[in-house]
Amino acid sequence: MDAPLWTEVYAPDLEDVRQDLAREQLERAVEDPVNLLVHGPPGVGKTAAVRAMAEAAHAQPEADLVEINVADFFGRTKTEIKNDPRFAAFLQGRSDLSKRDMINHVLQESASYAPVAGEYKTLLLDNAEAIREDFQQALRRVMEQYHQNTQFVIGTRQPSKLIPPLRSRCFAVPMQAPTTDEIESILAEIVAAEDVEHDEEGLAFVAGSADGDLRQAILMAQTTAESEGEITMDAVFEATEAVGLDERVGEMLDAAEAGEFTDARGELDDLLIEEGLDGREVLEEILAVGRNRYDGDRLAELHRLAGDVDMDVTEGTSDRLQVGQLLAELGRDA
């Protein structure tokens, strides 16, 4: 999608967060910036709600809200972390650090610097269920050390994955999946604002297909509107059939070549988890797309990288890690 994402254009202000309990708890946190554990299923608006809270709490939220997706650390290699422009300033001259020490250093530096405006800043650690227990212990110490000028917000789908000392330092903010009717109501407001032709059957189908994932429903509606010009049952079928693996693999390669490794790895995770592909199947799709977009030395390099990854996958190493390394190499060589 070239147009701005509707999930961003129609992100709620704090007073517009539809989950009453979560909104009330976040409003209290604006007045009393306690640490928070925001938990709920994927796509229910956890990150959007925290951003809305930060907008209400900070005079300069673009500076005093620090967002770290845990996948930016724990699903990446040491080289990828070091080359990420968001972390490069923290790690300059520290190439001798281990990956563990790199992560601890970035967490500590992110928590330690003074807020730009006001008395505190907010540090959001998203998808925290992926943090290993030893790093959770390190995070607990960082939270203890820098609690005076940093509000810590932990976002997760699985709060049970967090150690009790972390959970005990945060006020829990549960967020439930919206009902199909609630999703349909939100979609109706968005398409009306966008002046998109639609019918109730089309919106109901999108809402029901999302299975409680509001983000997925909004993106599906936008994809349908942009590709078909309307949101009806037939249009949704056409749009979802058009978004095949080739397009998704192409978007993954685009992100990798642009150095946007978090986006590339997110798409890789979708292929491995949601589509159920294994590492070798993803490699076959990458090569099929690559033959249509590369030639000469670039195509030869892709085949060499794929051969190395195929060997490592065959020997039983992590599909995600090995294919992710191929994406990182494509970005480095672009």
Domains in the chain: boundaries: 6-174, 180-242, 245-333
Helix (H) or strand (E) holding 309: helix 296-314
Which range is least confidently modeled, 18-22, 67-71, 249-253? Answer: 67-71
Rounded Cα distance between 137 and 116, Å, is 28
Q: State the pairing for strand pair 171-174/36-39.
A: parallel
Domain 180-242 has CATH 1.10.8.60: yes
Cβ within 8 Å of residue 298, ≥6 positions away: 333
**Which DSSP string do the residues of 198-215 spell out, in sequence order?**
E-HHHHHHHHHHTTT-HH
At 317, the pLDDT band (50, 70, 90 cuts) reads: low
Mean pLDDT throughout 53-62? 95
Higher pLDDT: 34 or 99? It is 34
pLDDT per residue over 197-225, tens digit each?
Answer: 999 999 999 999 888 999 989 999 999 99
Average pLDDT over residues 229-249: 82
Confidence of residue 277 (pLDDT cuts 50, 70, 90): confident
Higher local confidence (pLDDT), 211 or 75: 211
Residue-averaged pLDDT of the chain: 87
Distance CA 70, CA 128 (A): 6
| Per-residue pLDDT at 171 | 96
Fold of the 245-333 domain: Zinc Finger, Delta Prime; domain 3 (1.20.272)
pTM (two decimals): 0.72
Structure tokens at 310: 């195929």
pLDDT for position 242: 57
Percent of the chain beyond pLDDT 70? Answer: 94
pLDDT at 96: 78
- Give the residue carrying structure tokens 């976040």: 26
Domain 6-174: CATH class, spelled out: alpha beta
At residue 334, does pLDDT exceed 60? no
85-112 pLDDT per residue, tens: 777 777 877 767 887 788 888 888 888 8
Residue scoring higher pLDDT (124 or 246): 124
